[in-house]
Amino acid sequence: MDNDWIKIEILTSSEGVELLTPALADLGHDSISVIDAADLVNLMEGKYGAWDYIDPELMKHSEVETSITFYIKSDSDEHDRLDEINDMLLRLKSSESKKSLGKLECSISYITDMNWADKWKEDYEPIIIGEKLVVCPSWVDFESDENLVERTKIKIDPGLAFGTGLDETTRLCLEALESMPVDGCSVLDIGCGSGILAIGALLLGAASALGIDIDETAVNVARENAGLNGVSGISEFIHGSPIDLVTNTYDIVFTNIAADAILSLMPVFPRFLNDTGVLILSGIIENREQDIVNALLDVGLSVIECRKENGWCCMVIQS
C-alpha cells in the first residue's frame, strides 16, 4: 500500500488526557504525544520552577486545543482498530464522568511510509558562523559549496547533547573565539555538551582541550564528535564536576550554561585561568547580565566585551 500509517488525533481537554491515556494503552496504543495549552499556563505561573527564558515557539501552544496524537499501521486490521477507538470514545462521551473531557472528536489522515532515519537529514543545512567557521553534520558534503570551502569546518551530528551551532549562545561563543588568537592555546570547556566549542578551538589551532560535563551522555557524544573531526588525540572529555576535576590553568575557558550555574562556579573561575587567560561566558539571558557582571567583579574579573543576540549575552573576560 502507498499509505502505510494512519495518524490519529483526538481533541480533548487536560482532564480528558488523564482518562484517554490509560484507555488507549488498554487498546495497545502506548506511544502517544500530547499537546496541552494548560502546560504552558502552568509554566508561565512558575508551577514547574523558575526559568530564565522561555522559547517563543512555546507560546504557539497557548493557541491550540488540547489533543492526543498517535499512529497505527495501515493494514488489513486497521478498520477493527479504528472501530475500537471510536467505541472507546463513545463510551467516554456517554459516561457519567464529572470531568470535562472536551470534544472527544477523532480525525485521521494517511501517512506515506519512508525511510525516516534518512529523510530528516535532508533538512539540515550548513550553519555559517562569523568569518571563519561553518558547522555541519558529517553527512553533508562541504566541498560542494565554493562559499564554504575556505572555512574551518566543524562536523557535529545532531543528537542528545546540547550544542549544534543553531542556538545563539553557541554561535556567540564561536564568534568570540574566532576573533582572538588561538594557536597553541590550552582550552577548558565547562558544560561541554556536544563538544562543539572545544572542537572548534582545536580546529582553529588550539593545542589541547579538556571538556567536562555532568551529563555522561554528553561526554560520550563529545568524544564521538571529536573523532569525526580528527581531534581525539588532543582532546579529552570527562564526566563530573569541574570543581573536583580541574587542577590545571588554561588559556581559554568556555562556560556555556545557565546563569545560575555560572554564578555557582564564579568563585573557582580565577583558579582555572592562567595569568593571561580568557574566560568566555554564554547562556546568559539579558535580564541576568548585571548579576553576572557583579559576581565577576566580586572575584576580581571584569568584562572586556559583551556580544548579544536575540536577548542572549556572551561575555569575554580577561584575567
* Residues in Cβ contact with 195 at an 8 Å cutoff, skipping those fewer than 6 apart: 156, 161, 163, 189, 211, 221, 222, 223, 225, 226, 235, 237
Domain boundary among 113, 144, 173: 113
Alpha helices in 95-141 (DSSP H): 116-119
What's the number of domains the chain is made of?
Answer: 2
- Digit-coded pLDDT (tens) for 132-176: 999 888 877 766 667 777 889 999 876 655 666 678 899 999 999
Tell me the C-alpha distance between 64 and 42, whole Å: 15
60 and 207 fall within a common domain: no
Q: What is the pLDDT of residue 295?
A: 97
Tell me the C-alpha distance between 259 and 254, whole Å: 14
191 and 262 fall within a common domain: yes
Tell me the C-alpha distance between 128 and 134, whole Å: 4
Is 137 contained in some domain? Answer: no
Range of the domain at 43: 3-113
The predicted model gives 173-190 an average pLDDT of 96
Is 136 contained in some domain? Answer: no
Output DSSP code: residue 165.
S
197 and 292 fall within a common domain: yes
- Digit-coded pLDDT (tens) for 203-252: 999 999 999 999 998 999 999 999 999 999 999 999 999 999 999 999 99
Is 128 contained in some domain? Answer: no
104 and 190 fall within a common domain: no
Is 130 contained in some domain? Answer: no
192 and 85 fall within a common domain: no
Distance from the Cα of residue 227 to its chain's centroid: 21
Residue 69 sits in a domain whose CATH number is 3.30.70
C-alpha cell at 260: 545560575
Q: What is the pLDDT of residue 259?
A: 92
166 and 314 fall within a common domain: yes
106 and 199 fall within a common domain: no
Residue 246 sits in a domain whose CATH number is 3.40.50.150
Tell me the C-alpha distance between 305 and 314, whole Å: 8
Give the pTM. 0.67
48 and 169 fall within a common domain: no
